[in-house]
């Protein structure tokens, strides 16, 4: 059994337990052991990077140190965490000067970044550790050609120079993993473009307009749902549809479902075992379609 | 509008983490064209932001609201033919703006959350109950003490709070 | 051995410098130096009566070493050497020094000190002269024939020039037909004429009554001395300049060029159809085919990848002249040539790596060359731009500039001709289809050539639209089968979505695929972008650092047709100049290896900038370095590199360097600590010259020792200088990237760093040693450096040698 340090971040445990629940169930079922890290903090995502890049690197490095001490690689669910931790991990591994600078800061808290561990998004764990074939064998309830609009979120792919997750212009991994579950990953306009989530709270009007584009494009392409990997994308698109209703007087009712939830459902987790009531846009249509 | 000698401002940016590549820019507009925000609102255009910065328009760049409109999606950075790390440059500009007191309220909130709880989104009693209901393990507390030491070492606490309540 | 008799000739430059230097004291001093048998003073010695004095001294007084103190040493050196040679003395037994610019002028405020320094300089020159040895000339036979690699416009033009001049020329082209890019490009700017039109060879023009024609009508192939080998590539190059042996591999054509009458019967019966790459895959051709427009040879060829050979053999049956032979084999030919010209051109970059433009995925996104095929009346669409996806005429056409060029992710350079190609194509389309909607998205429009700007003007007149902005993505709308080009119109600061039937990418131009392999075979270099590197972009633009090998045209960098022609003619002249005497005569100012010392460390073969050193078996099972006399340029970089001191220059022996070091430091005459400056003969020495010419001042304690290239300097030379009394040492060389011997100045820098570490280990301040990289116009910097170095050393106090 492969073990990982589960890095939950801030938003998932505090706002989206349905994501955590689905991910824990699915990954455990697929033979991945998840170890909760003691004392982990925020990953220092873009808002903190905006305040101070150096601090952000130090915070991310601190959390990586926790995994190094536990001798475990990190598994993240949130793409934001994936990005912050991967960037820090790669930059510090590859740039000695920067590493020394950050280690000087960390030494105050009794830590030293050694650069011995990897940060992985759980999709990578599915690809590398579980494997597409093994995953396929575990699918007991194929998703019945469900039309899924895959939306990985920006920070799974970009900046590709550091994240090195997939081809940033022609990603395949997420789509492959959707199709293994028996669903269809459908093409739609501007698939790789941002949802605007990070502008929420600062420029809500712009954020909503960008989110609306995303919804409209997926909707027009005939999607049964949009599948997400990131809690911010989820919130932006799920709650966003409520706001679109009031602001634009438009109703799409397009379910937003975390990939972990689709995964759980397909490998035999019952809907009632998941926290689907956390979705603002009800997912019943999807459940119906997959039977 | 104060106009600084363009070179001075440019040097200041290139010497910052994230800002190193700004001088590569040859104003091709790829970033603007690919930017989801620029495509949505006239208020924002990354190419123009870089241009202003390279022309030394310090106040217009650091005091305004433009720099806060980037969604950090990295589309521009991915496609810039001159390998300008556009999104990172914007982080660098934000880092500079913050130090000059241009701190949007929401960022103040994030920083406060980080400093007091070690997390940006503190967990509510309701959620704690829900977690138990779903059979999720109780959330392990963040090591706020260690974090505070780090924030003190980088000067983060001072960056954020030296100008109390400062916001645009 | 013949007794050494040194004659010293002191020019006072018309009395000018005698106002500063005490010539009487100098004359008396020189007289006391052992070996000197004659001292003469005059106002100039490098021409006229003065020069005659030297000649007489050689003839009658049997002077066999000549030391001349004269201004403009470079010119005087040549004149004196020539004169003494005519008088029967080996010209390398002459040593010239410059008492004016290196002594009198810069130290004019301290005449006493200057005179003392002049003594030291004279002594050094005399001591060196005593050790000079004759250097003989060598002759290497040169075959009067040239291999031209690449049959595009550059190769054809160079070949024509040389054949016209009477050289045997072999023109080797890897494709089955000549023409290169030109054959595909339809028209060329700025003449707007057919791309494959060339000058008719002089003699043939008289016969055909025309001056220019398409290649095949021009009579090009009929030029005497010109041998054309198509479908052929270079597989091996051996030998040396003047005498290369080149192995060429000819792929079978399966059609006898001499028998084929181009009747086309074969293609009618051939059952195999494939997409025609030559026509951008917009049409099909048979397995046996010929390209149109016709270039050369006017004979069909069989595509071995497609042909079914004996399973079918229909064409063999039908050929009226029995020209087809399906059993033809690859053959090898060996050519003996004196010189080689590389004219392999450039090619279009494959833009599919720029994924946001979806080339190769959306068939209506094409490159310039593909569009050119459409605009060719002979071409697959008969001159009409179409949408390859459905064959419909393209009415809305968007050009995207700088695709893969000026892009740090792919090719950082500007490909320099694609702006003009777009303007040419846009106007061609507008001319034929005035209603077409043509837009060019650009970052900058570069129309720097003669008449180029008119294209831009004409395009605007004709209604071509220009959008300043580089598109970020090309999107395909499946519902309407339309392309959408996303771009910011920067001048309006507006984001546009341009609808297009056809998007044309102005792709980068990159070196031909085989450039790397060829460069390796020829022993020449490529630049950082993979183009063939010239010896010196300004002065020797078509030469390489290997004698006898020349480069031209797009192989060196993307070029338009006029520049390509110029380049080709230049290469042809250089090759002709190199071979015209049928022999290469050269003074053997080269390096020699003492094979007994050589430790086979393999440093020198790698370091020699001219690939002049090889390791050869010694017979006792060991290998030793050997210098090729014809390839060696005599820079001495190998001398500085060899860890065991096994190499020396015939024109600057170690003993000569030591003697000069000692002599220059044997007399001080100033109150300041002695500083020795090693300078290269090129920019370094020129900077010293110019500081004197410009009457800069620097103290007389600074003494200059000239070496061919600073690369020759070994750590031990530096230590020797300190041991001989120098308190500071300067190394004055060319700019690191402007070194006349490529790497010498960089090697010297490394040596200086090494010596500094060593000094430190000995407890000597490493600041006593410094490297300076100067050019001619930086005489002020040399003077400045000499001053600061002196001050620094003064401050450090006397050197303590353990
Ligand atoms: S894409 Fe790059 S070079 Fe072009 S305008 Fe934006 S930052 Fe400048
Ligand atoms: S990172 Fe910012 S500037 Fe760049 S494309 Fe995204 S939102 Fe626009
Ligand atoms: S010639 Fe024009 S299109 Fe070509 S790389 Fe240069 S600027 Fe770009
Ligand atoms: S002297 Fe220069 S050219 Fe001659 S062998 Fe040595 S390094 Fe090569």
List the structure tokens of B127: 């959620």
CATH label of the domain that carries residue A262: 3.40.50.11810
Q: Hey, how many other C-beta atoms are within 10 angstroms of the C-beta on A284?
A: 12
Residues of chain B positioned with their CB less than 8 A from the CB of C488: 29-30, 32-33, 38, 45, 47
CA angle C594, C595, C600 (to 5 degrees): 120
Residue C262 CB contacts under 8 Å (≥ 6 apart), including other chains? C290, C298, C299, C300
Whether the pLDDT of residue B168 is over 60: the answer is no
Confidence grade of residue C182 (pLDDT, cut at 50, 70, 90): confident
3-state secondary structure chain A: CEEEEEECCCHHHHHCHHHHHHHHHHHHHCCEEEEECCECCCCCCHHHHHHCHHHHHHHHHHHHHHHHHCCCCEEECCHHHHHHHHHHHHHHHHCHHHHHHHHHHHHCCCCCCCCCCCEEEHHHHHHHHHCHHHHHHHCCCCCCCCEEEEECCHHHHCCHHHHCCCCCCCCCHHHHHHHHCCCEECCCCCCCCCCCHHHCCCCHHHHHHHHHHHHHHHHHCCCCEEEECCHHHHHHHHHHHHHHHHHHCCCCCCCEEEHHHHHHHHCCCCHHHCCHHHCCCCCHHHHHHHC
Asked if residue C593 has its Cβ within 6 Å of ligand 4, the reply is no
**Contacting subunits of A (3+ beta carbon pairs below 8 A):** B, C
3-state SS, residue B158: helix
Whether the pLDDT of residue C202 is over 90: the answer is no
Of A232, A255, A254, nearest to A15 (Cα)? A232
The domain in which residue A92 lies consists of 2-122
Asked if residue C612 has its Cβ within 6 Å of ligand 4, the reply is yes
In tens, the pLDDT along A147-185 reads 999 999 999 999 999 999 999 999 999 999 999 999 999
Helix (H) and strand (E) counts in chain B: 10, 0
Beta bridge partners of C488: C495
Asked if residue C756 has its Cβ within 6 Å of ligand 3, the reply is no
Decide which of A88, A122, A156 is a domain's last residue: A122
The domain in which residue C458 lies consists of 365-374+385-507
In a domain, C334, yes or no: no
- The Cβ-side half-sphere exposure at A163, using a 13 Å CA radius, reads 22
pLDDT the model gives residue B157: 86
pLDDT the model gives residue C192: 84
Whether the pLDDT of residue B91 is over 70: the answer is yes
Asked if residue C556 has its Cβ within 6 Å of ligand 4, the reply is no
Q: What is the domain count for chain B?
A: 2
In tens, the pLDDT along C122-167 reads 999 999 999 999 999 999 999 999 999 999 999 999 999 999 999 9
In tens, the pLDDT along C87-128 reads 999 999 999 999 999 999 999 999 999 999 999 999 999 999
Whether the pLDDT of residue C57 is over 90: the answer is yes
DSSP string computed for C75-110: HHHHHHHHHHHHTTS-GGGEEEE-TIIIIITTTTT-
Whether the pLDDT of residue C58 is over 90: the answer is yes
Radius of gyration of chain C (CA): 33
In tens, the pLDDT along A73-129 reads 999 999 999 999 999 999 999 999 999 999 999 999 999 999 999 999 999 999 999
Q: How long, in residues, is chain B? A: 168
Residues A50, A150, single domain; the answer is no
In a domain, A127, yes or no: no
Size of interface A-B (CB pairs under 8 A): 194
Confidence grade of residue A291 (pLDDT, cut at 50, 70, 90): confident
Residue C314 CB contacts under 8 Å (≥ 6 apart), including other chains? C269, C270, C271
Question: Which DSSP helix (H) or strand (E) runs through C332?
Answer: strand C331-337
The single-letter DSSP state of residue C336 is E
Question: From ligand 4's centre to the CA of C605, what distance in Å?
Answer: 9
Residues B38, B78, single domain; the answer is yes
Which atom of ligand 2 lies nearest, measured to the CA of B86? 4
Cβ–Cβ < 8 Å for C63, C38:
yes
Region B100-121: what's the mean pLDDT?
A: 92
Alpha carbons C63 and C57: distance in angstroms, whole number: 6
Asked if residue B75 has its Cβ within 6 Å of ligand 2, the reply is yes
In tens, the pLDDT along A12-28 reads 999 999 999 999 999 99
What residue owns the CA closest to ligand 4's atom 2? C635
Mutation pick from C495, C497, C507 vs chain B, by most beta carbons of B within 10 Å, is: C495
Whether the pLDDT of residue B3 is over 60: the answer is no
Residues C221, C297, single domain; the answer is no
Which atom of ligand 1 lies nearest, measured to the CA of B34? 1
pLDDT the model gives residue B162: 59
Biggest CA-to-CA distance, chain C = 101
Whether the pLDDT of residue B163 is over 70: the answer is no
Place of tokens 């004197």: C692
Cβ–Cβ < 8 Å for C337, C241:
no
CATH label of the domain that carries residue C192: 3.50.50.60
Alpha carbons A135 and A124: distance in angstroms, whole number: 13
pLDDT the model gives residue A156: 97
Residues B86, B10, single domain; the answer is yes
Interface of B with A in 40-79 (CB under 8 A): 40-41, 43-44, 68-69, 71-75, 77-78
Size of interface B-C (CB pairs under 8 A): 59
Alpha carbons C742 and C540: distance in angstroms, whole number: 14
Asked if residue C712 has its Cβ within 6 Å of ligand 4, the reply is no
Place of tokens 């001191």: C645
Decide which of B99, B114, B145 is a domain's last residue: B99
C486 contacts B28? CB cut-off 8 A: no
In a domain, C66, yes or no: yes
Decide which of A101, A122, A143 is a domain's last residue: A122
Asked if residue B86 has its Cβ within 6 Å of ligand 2, the reply is yes
- The Cβ-side half-sphere exposure at C144, using a 13 Å CA radius, reads 13
3-state SS, residue C350: coil
Report CA dihedral (B85, B88, B90, B96) to the nearest 10 degrees.
-130
In chain C, % of residues over pLDDT 70: 99
In a domain, B151, yes or no: yes
pLDDT the model gives residue B147: 96
pLDDT the model gives residue C1: 62
Phi and psi angles of residue C692, each rounded to the nearest 5 degrees, phi first: -70, -45
Nearest by CB to residue A202, choosing from B41, B74, B104, is: B104
Alpha carbons B91 and B97: distance in angstroms, whole number: 10
Which atom of ligand 2 lies nearest, measured to the CA of B38? 8
Alpha carbons B17 and A52: distance in angstroms, whole number: 9
3-state SS, residue C399: strand
Cβ–Cβ < 8 Å for B63, B102:
yes
B160 contacts A109? CB cut-off 8 A: no
Residue of B nearest to A49 (CA): B91
Q: What is the domain count for chain C?
A: 6
Residues of chain A positioned with their CB less than 8 A from the CB of C355: 167, 169-170
3-state secondary structure A85-128: HHHHHHHHHHCHHHHHHHHHHHHCCCCCCCCCCCEEEHHHHHHH
Nearest by CB to residue B83, choosing from C408, C468, C495, is: C408
Residues C699, C772, single domain; the answer is yes
**Contacting subunits of C (3+ beta carbon pairs below 8 A):** A, B
pLDDT the model gives residue A133: 97
Alpha carbons C407 and C167: distance in angstroms, whole number: 43
Residues A206, A269, single domain; the answer is yes
Beta bridge partners of C703: C676
Whether the pLDDT of residue C215 is over 80: the answer is no
pLDDT the model gives residue B1: 46
Alpha carbons C13 and C152: distance in angstroms, whole number: 57
Residues B115, B47, single domain; the answer is no
pLDDT the model gives residue A141: 96
Whether the pLDDT of residue C421 is over 80: the answer is yes
Question: Which DSSP helix (H) or strand (E) runs through C468?
Answer: strand C465-468
> First-to-last CA distance in chain A?
32
pLDDT the model gives residue B5: 67
What residue owns the CA closest to ligand 2's atom 2? B70
Region C568-579: what's the mean pLDDT?
A: 98
Residue of C nearest to B80 (CA): C407
Confidence grade of residue B4 (pLDDT, cut at 50, 70, 90): low
Q: What is the domain count for chain A?
A: 2
The domain in which residue B121 lies consists of 105-165
CATH label of the domain that carries residue A85: 1.20.1050.140
Quote the minimal CA–CA distance from B6 to chain A in Å. Answer: 23
Decide which of A56, A89, A122 is a domain's last residue: A122
Residue A81 CB contacts under 8 Å (≥ 6 apart), including other chains? A7, A8, A9, A43, A45
Residues of chain B positioned with their CB less than 8 A from the CB of C358: none
C356 contacts A189? CB cut-off 8 A: no
Decide which of B99, B124, B157 is a domain's last residue: B99
Residue of A nearest to B156 (CA): A55
Comparing C191 with A58, which gets the higher pLDDT?
A58
pLDDT the model gives residue C378: 86
The helix-helix angle for C418-432 and C452-461 (nearest 10°) equals 40
List the structure tokens of C239: 């030998």
Residues of chain C positioned with their CB less than 8 A from the CB of B83: 408-409
Residues C113, C162, single domain; the answer is no
> First-to-last CA distance in chain B?
16
Q: Is the CB of residue A169 less than 8 Å away from at least one CB of chain C?
A: yes
Residues C183, C241, single domain; the answer is yes
Whether the pLDDT of residue B167 is over 50: the answer is no
Quote the minimal CA–CA distance from A130 to chain B in Å. Answer: 23
Residues C734, C798, single domain; the answer is yes
Cβ–Cβ < 8 Å for C781, C730:
no
- Check whether the bond before C91 is cis (ω within 30° of 0): no
Beta bridge partners of A5: A35, A74
């Amino acid at each position: 059994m492969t073990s990982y340090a589960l890095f939950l971040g801030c938003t998932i445990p505090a706002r989206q337990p349905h994501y955590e629940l689905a991910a824990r169930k699915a990954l455990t079922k697929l033979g991945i052991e998840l170890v909760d890290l003691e004392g982990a903090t925020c990953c220092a995502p873009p808002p903190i990077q905006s305040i101070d890049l150096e601090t952000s690197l130090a915070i991310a490095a601190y959390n990586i140190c926790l995994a190094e001490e536990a001798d475990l690689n990190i598994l993240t669910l949130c793409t934001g965490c994936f990005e912050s931790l991967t960037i820090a991990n790669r930059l510090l591994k590859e740039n000695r000067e920067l590493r020394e600078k950050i280690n000087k800061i960390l030494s105050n808290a009794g830590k030293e970044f050694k650069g011995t561990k990897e940060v992985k998004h759980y999709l990578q764990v599915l690809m590398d550790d579980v494997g597409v074939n093994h995953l396929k064998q575990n699918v007991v309830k194929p998703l019945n050609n469900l039309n899924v609009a895959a939306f990985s979120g920006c920070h799974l792919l970009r900046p590709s120079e550091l994240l090195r997750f997939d081809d940033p212009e022609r990603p395949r991994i997420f789509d492959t993993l959707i199709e293994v579950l028996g669903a269809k990953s459908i093409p739609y306009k501007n698939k790789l473009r941002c949802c605007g989530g990070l502008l929420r709270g600062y420029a809500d009007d712009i954020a909503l307009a960008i989110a609306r584009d995303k919804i409209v494009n997926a909707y027009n392409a005939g999607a049964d749902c949009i599948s997400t990997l990131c809690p911010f994308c989820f919130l932006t698109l799920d709650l966003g549809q409520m706001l679109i209703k009031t602001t634009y007087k438009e109703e799409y009712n397009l379910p937003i479902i975390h990939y972990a939830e689709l995964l759980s459902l397909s490998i035999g987790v019952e809907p009632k075992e998941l926290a689907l009531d956390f979705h603002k846009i009800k997912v019943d249509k999807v459940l119906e379609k997959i039977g | 509008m104060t106009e600084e000698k363009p070179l001075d401002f440019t040097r200041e940016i290139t010497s910052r983490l994230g800002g190193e590549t700004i001088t590569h820019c040859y104003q091709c507009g790829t970033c603007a064209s690919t930017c989801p925000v620029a495509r949505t609102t006239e208020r924002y255009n990354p190419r123009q932001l870089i241009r202003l910065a390279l022309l030394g328009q310090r106040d217009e760049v650091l005091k305004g609201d433009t720099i806060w409109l980037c969604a950090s999606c990295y589309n521009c950075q991915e496609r810039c033919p001159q390998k300008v790390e556009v999104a990172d440059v914007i982080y660098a500009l934000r880092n500079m703006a913050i130090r000059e007191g241009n701190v949007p309220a929401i960022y103040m909130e994030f920083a406060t959350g980080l400093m007091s709880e070690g997390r940006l989104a503190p967990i509510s009693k309701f959620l704690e109950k829900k977690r138990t209901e779903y059979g999720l393990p109780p959330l392990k507390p963040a090591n706020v003490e260690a974090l505070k030491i780090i924030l003190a070492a980088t000067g983060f606490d001072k960056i954020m709070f030296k100008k109390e309540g400062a916001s645009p | 051995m013949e007794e050494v008799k040194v004659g010293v000739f002191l020019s006072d430059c018309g009395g000018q410098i005698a106002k500063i230097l005490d010539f009487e004291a100098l004359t008396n001093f020189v007289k006391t130096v052992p070996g000197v048998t004659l001292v003469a003073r005059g106002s100039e010695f490098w021409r006229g009566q003065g020069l005659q004095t030297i000649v007489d001294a050689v003839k009658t007084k049997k002077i066999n070493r000549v030391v001349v103190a004269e201004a403009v040493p470079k010119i005087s050196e040549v004149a004196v050497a020539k004169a003494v040679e005519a008088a029967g003395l080996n010209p390398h037994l002459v040593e010239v020094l410059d008492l004016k610019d290196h002594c009198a002028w810069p130290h004019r405020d301290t005449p006493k000190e200057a005179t003392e320094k002049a003594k030291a300089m004279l002594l050094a020159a005399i001591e060196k002269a005593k050790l000079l040895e004759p250097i003989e000339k060598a002759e290497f036979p040169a075959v009067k024939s040239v291999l031209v690699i690449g049959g595009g416009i550059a190769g054809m033009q160079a070949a024509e020039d040389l054949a016209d001049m009477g050289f045997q020329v072999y023109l080797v082209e890897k494709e089955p037909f000549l023409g290169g890019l030109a054959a595909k490009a339809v028209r060329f700017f700025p003449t707007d004429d057919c791309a494959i039109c060339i000058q008719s060879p002089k003699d043939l023009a008289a016969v055909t009554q025309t001056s220019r024609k398409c290649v095949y009508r021009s009579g090009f192939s009929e030029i005497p001395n010109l041998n054309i080998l198509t479908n052929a590539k270079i597989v091996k190059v051996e030998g040396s300049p003047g005498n290369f042996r080149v192995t060429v591999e000819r792929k079978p054509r399966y059609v006898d060029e001499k028998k084929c009458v181009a009747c086309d019967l074969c293609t009618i019966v051939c059952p195999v159809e494939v997409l025609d790459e030559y026509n951008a895959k917009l049409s099909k051709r048979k397995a046996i085919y010929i390209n149109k427009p016709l270039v050369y040879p006017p004979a069909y060829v069989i595509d071995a990848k497609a042909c079914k050979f004996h399973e079918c053999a229909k064409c063999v049956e039908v050929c009226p002249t029995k020209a087809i032979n399906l059993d033809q084999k690859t053959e090898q030919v060996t050519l003996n040539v004196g010189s080689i010209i590389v004219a392999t051109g450039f090619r279009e970059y494959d833009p599919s790596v720029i994924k946001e433009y979806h080339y190769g995925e959306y068939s209506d996104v094409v490159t310039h060359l593909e569009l050119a095929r459409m605009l060719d009346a002979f071409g697959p669409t008969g001159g009409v731009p179409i949408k390859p996806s459905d064959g419909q005429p393209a009415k809305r056409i968007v050009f995207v500039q700088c695709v893969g060029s000026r892009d740090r992710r792919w090719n950082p350079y500007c490909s320099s001709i694609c702006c003009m190609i777009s303007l040419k194509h846009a106007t061609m389309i507008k001319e034929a289809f005035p209603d077409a909607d043509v837009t060019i998205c650009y970052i900058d429009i570069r129309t720097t050539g003669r008449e180029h700007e008119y294209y831009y003007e004409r395009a605007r007149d004709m209604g071509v639209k220009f959008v300043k902005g580089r598109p970020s993505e090309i999107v395909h709308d499946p519902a309407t089968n339309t392309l959408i080009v996303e771009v910011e119109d920067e001048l309006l600061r507006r984001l546009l979505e341009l609808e297009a039937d056809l998007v044309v990418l102005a792709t980068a131009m990159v070196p031909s695929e085989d450039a790397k392999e060829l460069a390796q075979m020829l022993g020449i270099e490529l630049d950082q972008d993979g183009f063939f590197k010239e010896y010196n972009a300004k002065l020797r633009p078509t030469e390489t650092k290997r004698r006898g090998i020349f480069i031209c045209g797009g192989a060196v960098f993307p070029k338009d047709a006029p520049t390509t022609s110029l380049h080709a003619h230049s290469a042809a002249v250089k090759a002709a100049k190199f071979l015209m005497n049928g022999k290469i005569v050269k003074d053997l100012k080269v390096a020699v290896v003492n094979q007994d010392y050589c430790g086979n460390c393999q440093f020198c073969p790698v370091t020699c900038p001219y690939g002049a050193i090889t390791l050869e078996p010694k017979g006792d099972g060991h290998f030793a370095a050997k210098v090729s006399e014809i390839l060696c340029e005599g820079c001495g970089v190998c001398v500085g590199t060899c860890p065991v001191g096994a190499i020396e220059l015939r024109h600057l022996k170690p003993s000569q360097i030591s003697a000069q070091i000692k002599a220059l430091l044997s007399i001080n005459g100033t109150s300041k600590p002695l500083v020795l400056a090693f300078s290269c003969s090129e920019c370094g020495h020129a900077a010293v010259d110019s500081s004197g010419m410009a009457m800069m001042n620097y103290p007389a304690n600074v003494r200059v020792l000239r070496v061919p290239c600073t690369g020759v300097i070994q750590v031990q030379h530096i230590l020797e200088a300190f041991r001989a009394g120098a308190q500071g040492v300067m190394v004055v060389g060319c700019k690191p990237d402007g070194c006349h011997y490529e790497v010498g100045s960089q090697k010297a820098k490394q040596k200086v760093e090494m010596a500094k570490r060593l000094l430190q280990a000995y407890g000597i301040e490493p600041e006593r040693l410094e490297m300076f990289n100067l050019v001619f116009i930086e005489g002020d910097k040399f003077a400045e450096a000499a001053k600061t170095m002196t001050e620094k050393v003064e401050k450090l106090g006397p050197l303590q040698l353990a």
